[in-house]
């Protein structure tokens, strides 16, 4: 008797919001699904797809049936539009992408490779509606902290109790609130959808998130996030629907795509190899932060003044705008102890024994990567949830210090010098960072809560096929 062919593997469609931190985090999740026997179709926007593919090392990936398929759909903006304009990007994405995603899912089915589940970035929650419409299972994944996600899910409650108005704006700025009695207090100035710069962008984001909440409510079977229980335990008690599966460690799998937009300059690792242990201040502000020329210059002067070794990521798009803002003769004066790169292999840099601390914008991925490597922080948040993350780092976990602005809104060179010195001489902060590293490692090891949550999720998603 002929044996029947094995069932096809489960097929997940993974879709990130088109921003670097989101793409990297969901790419790592995809690798983990592939490791567990899934086929993954990873959907970038056309614009991001071109950048991700161009930044892959070595030969272009095969287009044939590999377990991780990189595909793309349009984001609805013209090719030369500024994708850092979050308002325009978000409006276009929600208007244009759902239909394209539906077509892609139908095409996959007609080509004999039907998708069995959709894993949507929490910031692409409309994709959950598309999944539901097509009878597919769906999960939401937040690339940010659980508290950011839970704050978003608490919008109706916050409107009801008068914490925010119908427009998402806090009714009383700088007030400490609690989402539940057992949760730590939060400052209303950290209401993250209100931290995108101008009021009209804040409003667009607020409406987008509010709509997303409904999609999560009605269509998401799982709500996952890149965090771990030890760092946000009260949030997980309060909102048990949110399950941590992190920290995810991007870029630790040689030869597999990381999802970066810019090619990595790994020469800085050789430079790090030559520096004494715990001597280098790593300075990186993620994929989005843009300082004005005066602040950029002051930062350079601060790095010069502090006298420590440093590795500073100055992204190619920042260099284009800021080149003239480097103080005259800066590069010559810091030669030997200072190194600038366009884009670093951040996860490996943070794991390097020469790195002493991380001057960071406190994006959630950077926060988790610093925590995972036991590196203390100097916090310099820029927008969105980064203020919330800064508060975690400095007030809750106590593994970092704030860089404070002066009356003109500038972080001065003297502040940089003073805080670097204070951080590096504070054995308690450094010690706590190392303790948290242990906790992070335990959560993703066998028997850890993130490990168990991920297993449960994978098993549940597999049973459908
Ligand atoms: N990153 C990197 N090289 C760099 C700077 C950043 O690989 O030189 C990665 C970093 O490891 C993280 C992501 O880019 O995974 C940035 O995400 P995050 O949430 O920290 O900040 P965002 O870019 O979203 O503001």
Q: Give the model confidence (pLDDT) of 420-458 as tens digits.
A: 999 999 999 999 999 999 999 999 999 999 999 999 999
Burial string for 55-70 (b: 16+ CB within 10 Å, else e) reads bbeeeeeeeeeeebbb
The conformation of residue 144, written as its DSSP 8-state character, comes to S
Q: Is the minimum distance from the CB of 196 to ligand 1 under 6 angstroms?
A: no
288 lines ligand 1 (CB under 6 A): yes
**335 contacts 305 by C-beta, under 8 angstroms:** no
CA 39 from chain center: how many Å?
Answer: 23
Q: Where are the alpha helices (DSSP H) in 292-426?
A: 293-306, 316-322, 330-334, 346-351, 364-372, 386-391, 413-424
CA 438 to CA 247: how far, in whole Å? 12
Tokens matching residue 446: 């066998």
Q: Is 144 in the pocket of ligand 1 (CB under 6 A)?
A: no
**H-helix or E-strand spanning residue 238:** helix 233-238
Residues 114-163 have pLDDT tens digits of: 999 999 999 999 999 999 999 999 999 999 999 999 999 999 999 999 99
User: Is beta strand 176-177 parallel, antiparallel or unpaired with respect to 186-187?
Assistant: antiparallel
Ligand 1, atom 24: closest residue by C-alpha:
21
Contact 377, 399 (CB under 8 A): yes
Q: Which residues pair with 360 in a beta bridge?
A: 284, 379
Contacts of 355 (CB under 8 A, 6+ apart): 272, 278, 280, 282, 311, 349, 373, 375
pLDDT digits (tens, 9 = 90+) for 118-130: 999 999 999 999 9
**What is the distance between the alpha carbons of residues 374 and 430, in angstroms, rounded to a whole number?**
8
How is residue 71 annotated by DSSP?
Answer: E
pLDDT of residue 2: 65
* CA 365 to ligand 1 center in whole angstroms: 6
Its sign, for the CA torsion 434, 436, 437, 441, is positive
- Which protein residue's CA is at the shortest distance from atom 1 of ligand 1? 346
Q: Are 177 and 164 in contact, with CB atoms under 8 Å apart?
A: no
Judge residue 217's burial from the number of C-beta atoms within 10 Å of its C-beta, 0-12 exposed, 13-18 middle, 19 or more buried.
middle
- Predicted confidence band at 250 (pLDDT cuts at 50, 70, 90)? confident
Predicted structure pTM score: 0.95
Over 80: is that where the pLDDT of 323 sits?
no
Which H or E run includes 311? strand 309-313
Q: Which helix (H) or strand (E) holds 457?
A: helix 449-462
How far does the centroid of ligand 1 lie from the alpha carbon of residue 387, in Å? 16
Q: What is the pLDDT of residues 251-293, one digit of tens each?
A: 777 778 889 999 899 999 999 999 999 999 999 999 988 888 8
318 or 397, higher pLDDT = 397
Distance CA(320)–CA(112), nearest Å, equals 46
Ligand 1 in contact with 257 (CB < 6 A)?
A: no
Cα distance between the two ends of the chain:
24
Identify the bridge partners of residue 416 per DSSP, sorted by sequence position: none
219 close to 211: Cβ distance less than 8 angstroms: no
Please tell me the distance between residue 369's alpha carbon and the centre of ligand 1 in angstroms. 9
Between these two residues, 197 and 117, which has the higher pLDDT value?
117
Is residue 148 within 8 Å of residue 142, measured between CB atoms?
yes
Q: Which of 360, 363, 383 to mutate to test the pocket of ligand 1 (most atoms within 8 A of CB)?
A: 363
Residue 63 has pLDDT above 60, yes or no: no
For residue 464, the model assigns a pLDDT of: 60
């Amino acid at each position: 008797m002929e044996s029947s062919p094995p069932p096809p593997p489960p097929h997940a469609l993974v879709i990130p919001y088109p921003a670097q931190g989101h793409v990297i985090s969901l790419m790592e999740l995809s690798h983990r699904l592939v490791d567990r026997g899934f086929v993954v179709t990873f959907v970038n926007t056309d614009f991001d797809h071109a950048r991700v593919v161009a930044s892959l090392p070595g030969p272009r990936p095969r287009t044939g049936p590999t377990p991780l398929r990189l595909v793309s759909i349009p984001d609805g903006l013209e090719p030369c539009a500024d994708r850092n304009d979050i308002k325009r990007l978000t409006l276009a994405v929600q208007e244009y992408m759902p239909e394209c995603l539906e077509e892609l899912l139908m095409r996959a089915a007609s080509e004999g490779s039907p998708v069995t589940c959709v894993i949507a970035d929490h910031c692409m929650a409309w994709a959950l509606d598309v999944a539901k419409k097509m009878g597919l299972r769906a999960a939401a994944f937040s690339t940010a902290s659980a508290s950011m996600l839970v704050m978003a899910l608490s919008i109706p409650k916050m409107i009801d109790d008068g914490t925010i108005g119908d427009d998402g704006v806090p009714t009383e700025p700088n007030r400490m609130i609690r989402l539940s009695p057992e949760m730590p207090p939060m400052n209303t100035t950290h209401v993250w959808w209100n931290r995108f710069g101008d009021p009209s962008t804040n409003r667009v984001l607020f409406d987008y998130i509010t709509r997303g909440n409904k999609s999560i409510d009605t269509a998401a079977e799982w709500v996952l996030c890149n965090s771990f229980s030890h760092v946000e335990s009260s949030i997980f008690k309060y909102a048990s629907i949110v399950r941590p599966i992190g920290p995810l460690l991007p870029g630790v799998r040689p030869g597999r795509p990381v999802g970066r937009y810019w090619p990595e300059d790994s020469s800085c690792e050789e430079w790090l190899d030559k520096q004494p242990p715990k001597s280098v201040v790593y300075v990186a502000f993620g994929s989005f932060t843009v300082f004005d020329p005066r602040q950029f210059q002051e930062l350079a002067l601060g790095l010069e003044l502090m006298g420590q070794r440093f590795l500073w990521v100055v992204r190619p798009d920042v260099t284009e705008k800021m080149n003239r803002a480097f103080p005259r003769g800066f590069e010559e004066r810091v030669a030997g102890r200072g190194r600038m790169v366009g884009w670093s292999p951040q996860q490996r840099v943070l794991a390097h024994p020469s790195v002493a601390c991380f001057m960071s914008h406190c994006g959630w991925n950077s926060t988790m990567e610093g925590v995972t490597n036991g590196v203390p922080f100097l916090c310099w948040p820029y927008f969105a949830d980064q203020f919330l993350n800064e508060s975690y780092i400095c007030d809750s976990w106590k593994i970092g210090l704030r860089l404070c602005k002066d009356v003109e809104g500038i972080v001065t060179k003297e502040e940089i010098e003073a805080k670097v010195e204070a951080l590096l001489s504070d054995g308690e902060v450094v010690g706590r960072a190392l303790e948290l590293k242990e906790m992070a490692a335990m959560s993703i090891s066998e028997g850890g809560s993130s490990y168990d949550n991920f297993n449960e999720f994978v098993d549940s998603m597999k049973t459908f096929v």
